[in-house]
Chains A and B, each alone.
Chain A
């Protein structure tokens, strides 16, 4: 059974049909990219999947459960963790603390355990801190662990956001344009990190404008245009798909890649 199953997802904002009956499946362990021109409805689709707003109609199933209309934190708790197009870091905290917060989903304890510090809580705190350092090493930020997050250059803030999402040990990671605003080198570094996440067994859905990135790492691609799914397939099929080429104005962007 598919890990994520989107069925006829439709999202209407007044007169605007942002998503129209979009259906696709994501299998466990897959790396799927969602592409499309600006305004095609990609981020809306992410928001519908991650619970930011409910779909007007249609359903979302994750891990066999119906998560249609569930709250964002509920969706995250189920194991579907997302990042945002605009970096959303906890700026006043250190790089390591940012990642430690990411472990919220996979840890437990509230006010009383914080106050009385039972043994399991101390062990948990240790593993949270050790785990955060490991993830920072994984994305290459271990040297900046104790710096305030807002002093990182933009490209590294992106990596930090990914590391923080990984601390939640997602079963499905949604990355919303992670390469936006990055230079070529930074994009390379990011692509490499995403590939390693995928190799580590995490299922990934990626929204991306950077075609070279998508063609290089995605196993399968869903193409949206004007809120509809116009194509779905392997990168090579998508490159030569006539509708996709038309959507991208003659397809220069794709042919260049």
Chain B
């Protein structure tokens, strides 16, 4: 009886709003499965980035803080999975979870002193974190094999069951990305999510309402690290090879483009941005030497006309509709 009452009070529009993006993801995934392995690889990267960006969105979108060093946690995930699976014969899924735990602990330890900083200072400190991780992957050759990278990483699987083909792995990645967005959406629509949003809105006001700012920032940072780590591990299993460049600064810049283009602070924006930013260069390949120019021109165009990102446009539509209804 009670559960019925709860479901009936839930506004139906919420269902609609999440049904549409899920259908869109299904269409994109189906398109990938009917195409060549090349397309599957591009889309696979896109959804791995979607996981990375959905995590980053906790810290940068919901909580309004800057992190330029999230690639460090992707590196922990990627190298951790590579080492545990190739050298120690771990199950990939267990390695993925174990490295997420390591990343979470590292994020908590590093974040505790670092997150006292604000704005540009926090950006600089986190940027340093990413650079340190990059240096470690290059210099600590006995652990990471340096520039040579790690090859022969097994595909995702559990208990002897292996996702042998690229397309099977792709499905697993898409499902994980959807779970990631689902978790993010649930966390945002809660007391916890509201506390994060209050920090983004005004730290003074959040504090005056009893929100422990340092604690919530740290939890958001740790959650972002868990997502980044999972994305790093998935990349290692999907490609089978990793090297330092993969988890370098370009990863950070790429993810920022995705976050802002898709709509920072929104539920589906990070995934939308990840897919567009990944697919666009491939779609423009026919333009040859004009490819980069066309790509950046489109990015700038979108950001000028949709400054809050593509997912932010839905808010505009909703706002535009209301006055019209008022007049009627």
Across the interface, B198 reaches (CB within 8 A) one of A50, A90, A117, namely A90
* Stretch of A54-62, A102-110, A222-230, A245-253 with 4 or more beta carbons under 8 angstroms from chain B: A102-110
Does B191 have its Cβ within 8 Å of any Cβ on chain A? yes
Within 8 A of B (CB), among A73-129: 73, 76-77, 81-84, 88-93, 97, 100-105, 107-111, 113-115, 117, 119, 121-122, 124-126, 128
Proximity string of chain B (1-34) to chain A, C-beta cutoff 8 Å, 1 when within and 0 when not: 0100010010000000000000000000000000
Bound-state CA distance A60–B174 (Å) is 56
When distances are taken between beta carbons in the complex, the residues of chain A under 8 Å from B190 are 109, 113-114, 121, 125
Asked if residues A102 and B202 are in contact (CB atoms below 8 Å), the reply is no
Asked if residues A89 and B201 are in contact (CB atoms below 8 Å), the reply is yes
Asked if residues B208 and A105 are in contact (CB atoms below 8 Å), the reply is no
A interface majority secondary structure: helix
Within 8 A of A (CB), among B195-211: 195, 197-198, 200-202, 204-211
Bound-state CA distance A81–B209 (Å) is 6
Asked if residues B209 and A84 are in contact (CB atoms below 8 Å), the reply is no
Asked if residues A126 and B9 are in contact (CB atoms below 8 Å), the reply is yes
Asked if residues A111 and B194 are in contact (CB atoms below 8 Å), the reply is no
Q: Counting chain B CB atoms within 10 Å of each CB, which of A89, A119, A122, A148 scores highest?
A: A122
Does B187 have its Cβ within 8 Å of any Cβ on chain A? yes
Contacts A97-B194, A109-B192, A114-B187 given; indicate if A168 touches B209 (C-beta within 8 A).
Answer: yes
User: How near does chain A come to B245, taking the closest CB pair, in angstroms?
Assistant: 34
Across the interface, A89 reaches (CB within 8 A) one of B187, B205, B213, namely B205
When distances are taken between beta carbons in the complex, the residues of chain B under 8 Å from A165 are 208-209
Asked if residues B201 and A92 are in contact (CB atoms below 8 Å), the reply is yes
Does B72 have its Cβ within 8 Å of any Cβ on chain A? no
Asked if residues B202 and A111 are in contact (CB atoms below 8 Å), the reply is no
Bound-state CA distance A115–B195 (Å) is 15
Does A164 have its Cβ within 8 Å of any Cβ on chain B? yes
Across the interface, B202 reaches (CB within 8 A) one of A89, A113, A121, A124, namely A89
When distances are taken between beta carbons in the complex, the residues of chain A under 8 Å from B319 are 148
Asked if residues A73 and B210 are in contact (CB atoms below 8 Å), the reply is yes
Asked if residues B192 and A110 are in contact (CB atoms below 8 Å), the reply is yes
Bound-state CA distance A125–B6 (Å) is 11
Number of interface residues of B (CB under 8 A): 32
Across the interface, A84 reaches (CB within 8 A) one of B194, B205, B211, namely B205
Asked if residues A111 and B197 are in contact (CB atoms below 8 Å), the reply is no
Asked if residues A76 and B208 are in contact (CB atoms below 8 Å), the reply is yes
When distances are taken between beta carbons in the complex, the residues of chain A under 8 Å from B209 are 76, 81, 101-102, 104-105, 164-165, 168
Does B265 have its Cβ within 8 Å of any Cβ on chain A? yes
When distances are taken between beta carbons in the complex, the residues of chain B under 8 Å from A82 are 208
Bound-state CA distance A82–B211 (Å) is 13
Please name the residue on chain A nearest to B204 by beta carbon: A88
Does A178 have its Cβ within 8 Å of any Cβ on chain B? no
Within 8 A of B (CB), among A149-169: 161, 164-165, 168
Does A41 have its Cβ within 8 Å of any Cβ on chain B? no
Does A72 have its Cβ within 8 Å of any Cβ on chain B? yes
Does B193 have its Cβ within 8 Å of any Cβ on chain A? yes
When distances are taken between beta carbons in the complex, the residues of chain A under 8 Å from B120 are none
Bound-state CA distance A151–B219 (Å) is 31
Asked if residues A104 and B195 are in contact (CB atoms below 8 Å), the reply is yes
User: How near does chain B come to A10, taking the closest CB pair, in angstroms?
Assistant: 23
Bound-state CA distance A226–B93 (Å) is 67
Within 8 A of A (CB), among B170-197: 183, 186-187, 189-195, 197
B interface residues with partner A (beta carbon < 8 Å): 2, 6, 9, 183, 186-187, 189-195, 197-198, 200-202, 204-213, 219, 223, 265, 319
A interface residues with partner B (beta carbon < 8 Å): 50, 71-73, 76-77, 81-84, 88-93, 97, 100-105, 107-111, 113-115, 117, 119, 121-122, 124-126, 128, 148, 161, 164-165, 168
- Show 17 residue pairs from A and B whose CB-CB distance is below 8 angstroms, ordered by the A residue: A50-B208, A73-B213, A84-B205, A101-B194, A101-B197, A102-B209, A104-B194, A105-B209, A109-B192, A110-B191, A111-B192, A114-B186, A114-B187, A114-B191, A114-B193, A164-B205, A165-B209
List 11 additional A-B contacts (Cβ < 8 Å) besides A89-B205, A101-B209: A81-B210, A90-B198, A92-B201, A102-B209, A104-B210, A109-B192, A114-B186, A114-B191, A122-B6, A126-B6, A165-B208
